[in-house]
Structure formats: structure tokens, C-alpha cells
Structure 1
């Protein structure tokens, strides 16, 4: 029998099939054109990624800038991160919930309970027992103890330690210290998370039902903590006020910019080089450089404008620099990204996805 040899055309077709079919996209370095074609194909399949959000931001900028001439002023744009910081942090936390195909309708009121506990503790020298009348303090402490027991029972050791430390802060009056008061808010949020997670994951109540009920419940707790239409002042507590309203000095704003942009450039470049060396699919270095360049330009412009004087009376008080909340958001963004992409917990989260039964 005569051995048949593959023709050049057949070999080329086989190579192209291996490159673009099946799992062939995981092998070999991509070119800039390949990356663009892959993104266009993904958008056509109904997976546009962050494109709708970016287009929405652009539309909002155009609409608001034409509606009000003050919208694009440096002072107004600098206020946006401070005003939206709380919502951004809530959205970052809800990403973990949405990855599992669940929902949390109580996140807003739950965060209000945490903030109210912190503010009350600061304004009453850490003594919540005297300010929370009618057994409210006892219910608050009992809720802490109950969620501590649930965390230990479910072997959520980090959550148990966080709640236990919160109990100690609560009963010892240590929340007179601003750092301890902030931690009391974090521990309260941890306890709320343990309760919500237990009702959804173990008891089996749908997250929509649980969080809708807790949404109403935490509203009642807020009314009990603050009263009808009242507000708890925190302006005289310099750490809390700085996190909410103060700015990083201009020099340190540039240092922050260099650290984050340089870190992003180093991580993406090293990842691309390593994947190329292992023969895996890797972004072209030109695309990496383009992303870093875009981030450098827009980030640099943002820091430059934020470092301009924004005070109407600079001789009386100066307002310059990047809001502290921006640094907090960036640090949490890095840490949560590492948690999702570099830990077993993050891989399990992605593996479960929106179908826990599967």
C-alpha cells in the first residue's frame, strides 16, 4: 500500500483548525489583530463585558455636562468619588453575591446599621449600653453571640474571630477609640453576613426573600438606633471625617499613582511573558502597552486635576489632592481581585457560578 502524505493545503487547514477550534485558543501567543477579532466575536455572541457600562458613563457625562456647566468643574468631579465611595464599596461586595447567581436587597440598610453603630459609639464614648434603651443593647449583643455560634458551628473561623473581637469591643467600651469604632462597624457587618448566608445557604430560603425581609428589618433597627429623621454627627472625629471628606496631599497622590500604575504594568507584562514562555494564550505586548498607556494618561490627568486648588477661599483653607476614599477603593480592588483570581475560595466561587446544584 502507498502511504498518503498530507498536502500543504490540508496541513494549513489542520493548523488553522487547531489554532481557532476547540481549545486551540489556549495555545500560542496572540497578535493584536487576533485579540481584536476575539473581542469582536465575543461581543457578537452577547458578551460585551464592560462596554455597556463605559458607554453608559460617557452618555451620563455628555447629558450632565450639557445640563449644568458646573458638572465638569474640578470641584464637582473631585466630590464625586467621596459621594459615591459608599456605593462603590457596596457594589464591590455584591460582586461576590452576583457571581453565585444570588441577590442581596438588604445591603444598603445593613451598611446603615453598621455605620450607625460606629457613630453612636463615637458620640457616647463607646458606651452603647446607656444610649440603646429598651433592651436594644441586649438584642444587639444577643445577635452578636448568636452569629458567633453559627460561625463556629459552620467552621467559619475568620468570621468567628471577627465577631468575637466585635463583642469584646462592644462590651468593654473600647469603641470610644475611632479605630475600634470602625472595627465595630466591620464586625457588625460580618455578623449580618453570617446570618444572611446561613439563612440562604443552610436553611435554604431564597436570597430574594431573605434579603427583602432583612431590608425591612434593618430599616427598623436604624429607626431604633437613630430615631425618626435624625442624623448622628461625625465631623469632629478626625479619622472618620478624613476617610469621608479629606484628601491625600498632592505629592502622595502622585506616589499613589506611580505605585498603582507601575504595579499594574509590571503584573500584566510579567503575566504575558510567562504565558508566552509556557506556550499558552497570551495578550500581545502591544496590547499590554496600550492598556498601560491609556491608564497612565487618564490616571495622570485625574491626579493632575485633583491636585489643583478647589477651595473658593484658598487663604482660609486649601482643598487639594486625591480623596482618601479613592485610595481605599483601589486597595480593596486589588485585594478582592487577588482573592477571586489567586485563591481556592475564588476558584470555588467561579466554579459554582449561578448553579449551586450543578
Structure 2
């Protein structure tokens, strides 16, 4: 067997008799162990640290309270991660450039306020107010992105000014009313309150997800094999698909044990998967990663740096607006506190804890999902065990600190191996 550069294994030209399935499994395990050791020494930890942290958090809180892993709590958890998780997905795009967007909290509050004022106060149809609110976030992000690209001032400075500006505009349009209650039976409210109670919905989504994992892996193998590149073995694809199936169908079973598949979770996963395709499979996505590897090198490669940087901040603003609408949907109201508090910190922390590098060039949209699961699991566990909120901040801060240190050490190891 030969180790592939992407962490998979190719099938040698002359193989021993593989008729014994135990031999095939042994070969696959041995191959993965060798590749894992090579990646570990090179500082390529992937999702391993965050998965271990998530498992540890779940084990600890389940031992403290048997209701933590109950279908009801896990279903609520799957909805609670959506609003901030969508904002964190936008943060991932910015972090891939090695930059930081500090305005996402204010943009999320602004979008929610725009929707509430247009729909509730002025009677605009919900769908139209929804579109205008999202476009407001896109416009805010675009303005910041263009300013960042043209001025070459660090993005965190531009977006810090944006944080104050968008928050001021939100307070202005809300006026003296302070709080606007949304229609509990309206379109936006249903974003987080609607569930597909038919068991077929959750199991169908699990089947689709499993099929996509297999098809993407098989297509990647076929493409690599056609050009003579190292490619994943068929048994490796089979094992990967089996693991995905276990996770997907177990999740579907848990959700169906409570109220079924939440609409919010479905939208979240579709958005995350779609943006993952954009980053991994499109020319634009490759340009984003290239800029994260070095702006000057990207310029010399004739990449449109201004266009890509502007687009990235526009994506961040758009995702912040969508996330803000989901957060407003969860509490069916918009107030002067919308988008404030720890929202910004949680969104950034989710992206970093999930494995997106602060140095740019490494991370995926799924990083935000994993990181948000860790943060919200801690919050949920604290609530269900009546633990003081102060301890929640300390634990989340500790996890974030560990993630940053792991990222820094991984970066140093990659530099030592000539991979950074």
C-alpha cells in the first residue's frame, strides 16, 4: 500500500489476495494509522481536536445530568446552533483571508431591525421585507469589503468602524419603541418553530447525505485516478460512507424521537454544504484560499484581489443578516440589544474552535458547525445543570484558548515541514 498526499490510500498494482474481508479491514486501518501519524507530525490535525472536545463535553454533562443527551435537549440544541452558526460560517470566509470581521453582530441586529420595521411597523409583506433585510447585510458587507480592499487597512479596523456604524443605524430605525414583536405565526417565526414531523423527512435527509458522501468521494477518486494522482481506495470510501451513514441515521433517529426534523437545521445544513462546495469546487473558492496563503503572491498570479476581498466581506455580511433573522425568529422579537452581547465572540470562537486557522488559508464551512456545537453544548449543559453563567464563559474561553494554541503550534509545525 502507498500513502496518498491527501491522506487516502491508493491500491498497489500487485496486490495480495484480498478475498478475506478481515485482511481488507486490517489494511485500511493500518493505512489510516500511518497517514494519521504523518499528518500529526506535520501539524495537520484536521477535525480531531474539536471532535475530542465535543465528545468530552457530552460525556461530562451526560454524567452530571441524564437529560443532556435526551432527544428533546439534542433537538433544541440543533436549532439553537443555527443563528450564530450561520454568522460563524461567514466568519470562516474572512478568516480564510487571515482577516477578522468585527461587524457581524451589528449587521445581524441591523437586518433583524430592518425586517421588523418594514413588516410589523409598515405592513410590507414578509417575504419582501426578508429579502430587503438580507440585502441590507450584503450591502453593509460589500461597503466594508471594498473599503478594506482599496485602502489596505486591516479588515478588523474597517469592521470595527462598521460595528459602531451599523449598530447606530439599527438604534435609529428602531426609534423609541425599543422592542418590536414579530408575528408568531409568520414566515420568519416559522424558521425556527417548524418541524417536519413525518419520520421520512429526517431519514430521507440522512439517506441523501450518505449518498452525497459516497458520490463526492467516488468522483474525487475517479478524477484523481484518471490523471495518475494518488487516490482513495474503494474500501476506504466504503468505510467513510459507512461512518457517515451511522452518524446521519443516528441523528435522524434522535430527532424523530422528539418532534422530527427542524426546518432551521435543514436550512443550516443546506447552506453550509452549498458554501462548502463554493469554497472547495469553484474558481472563486480557490482564489479565497490562495489569498489566505499570501496576498502578494496572489497579486503576482494575476488574481483579482480587490474583487475577492470585497466578495468575502459581502458573504460575511450576508450570512450575518441571515443569522440575525434566525436569532430574531427564535425569540420572535427584535430589540435594541439584538446583535449585541456575546454574539460576536461566539461566532468568532465557533469558527476558530472548529479548526479554521487564524493565519488564513485553512478551514471549511463545516468548521463553524463543529465549533458551534461545542459552544452551544457547553451553554446547554450549563443551563441543564444549573451551573453559574460565569463558569460557562471561563470554560468557553479555555476551549478557545486551547484552539488558538493548537492552531499556532500546527502552524509552526507546518513551517518546519515547509508546508506553510
TM-score (norm 1): 0.71
8 Å CA contact 1:71, 1:77 repeated in 2? yes
Cα separation, 2, equivalents of 1:206 and 1:237? 43
| Secondary structure, aligned partner of 1:232 | strand
Alignment-derived partner of residue 6 in structure 1 = none
| Post-superposition offset of 1:197 | 0.3
Match of 1:279 in 2: 228
Deviation at 1:122, TM superposition (A): 1.6
- Does 1:303 find its partner at 2:252? yes
Per the alignment, residue 21 of structure 2 pairs with none
Contact 1:27 1:279 in 2 (8 A): no
Instruction: For residues 330-354 of structure 1, give each alpha carbon's deviation from its aligned partner in whole angstroms, at most 9, with x where no partner exists.
Output: 2112211221122211111111214
Structure 2 residue 209 is the aligned partner of structure 1 residue 260: yes
Aligned counterpart for 1:191 among listed residues 103, 116, 139: 139
Which one of the candidate residues 37, 54, 59 is aligned to 1:57? 54
Following TM superposition, by how much is the alpha carbon of 1:228 offset from its aligned partner in structure 2, in angstroms? Answer: 7.7
- The total of aligned residue pairs comes to 281
Partner of 2:295: 356
Q: Distance in 1 between matches of 2:90 and 2:6?
A: 35
Q: Residues 283-331 of structure 1: CA distance to partner in whole angstroms, max 9, x if unpaired?
A: 12222112211111121111112112x4xxxxxxxxx211111111221
Q: Aligned pair in 2 of structure 1 residues 47, 200: CA closer, same or farther (>3 Å)?
A: same
Counterpart among 81, 95, 99 of residue 98 in structure 1: 95
State the match for 1:332 in structure 2: 271
Specify whether residues 182 and 24 from structure 1 end up closer, same or farther in structure 2 by C-alpha distance, changes over 3 A only. closer
Give the aligned partner of residue 11 of structure 1. Answer: none
* Secondary structure in structure 2 of the residue aligned to 1:84: helix
Q: Equivalent residues in 2 for 1:1-358 (5 A)?
A: 29=11, 32=28, 33-126=30-123, 176-226=124-174, 230-250=178-198, 251-308=200-257, 310=258, 320-358=259-297
Counterparts of 2:50 and 2:176, CA distance in 1: 37
Alpha carbons 1:101, 1:355 under 8 Å: kept: no
Show the counterpart of 2:307: none
The residue that corresponds to 1:139 in the other structure is: none
Number of the residue aligned with 1:148 = none
Moved more, 188-197 or 324-333: 324-333
Given that residues 9 and 232 in structure 2 are in contact (C-alpha distance below 8 angstroms), is that contact kept between their aligned partners in structure 1?
Answer: no
Query: Residue 68 and residue 347 in structure 1: after superposition, are their counterparts in 2 closer, same or farther (change >3 A)?
Result: same
Contact 2:126 2:187 in 1 (8 A): yes
CA distance in 2, matches of 1:206, 1:229: 36
Contact 2:7–2:35 at 8 Å: present in 1 too?
no
Query: 1:229 Cα deviation (Å)?
Result: 9.5
Shift of 1:237: 4.2
Q: Could you say if the C-alpha distance between residues 238 and 301 of structure 1 is closer, same or farther in structure 2, counting changes exceeding 3 Å?
A: same
Give the TM-score taking structure 2 as reference length.
0.61
How far apart, CA to CA, are the structure 1 residues paired with 2:175 and 2:67? 36
In the alignment, what sits opposite 1:129? none
Change (3 A) 1:25 1:330: closer
Contact 1:70 1:76 in 2 (8 A): yes
C-alpha RMSD over aligned residues? 2.7
Query: What secondary structure sits across from 2:181 in the alignment?
Result: coil
Partners of 1:64 and 1:225 in 2: how far apart?
42
Separation of aligned partners in 2, 1:65 and 1:232 = 38
Give the corresponding residue for 1:315. none
Q: Is the 8 A contact 2:8 2:35 kept in 1?
A: no
In structure 1, C-alpha distance between the alignment counterparts of 2:193 and 2:248, rounded to whole Å? 21
Counterpart contact for 1:114–1:189, Cα < 8 Å:
yes
CA distance in 1 between partners of 2:201 and 2:253 (Å): 12
Structure 2 CA distance for aligned equivalents of residues 323 and 179 of structure 1: 20
Q: Indicate the SS of the match to 2:296.
A: coil
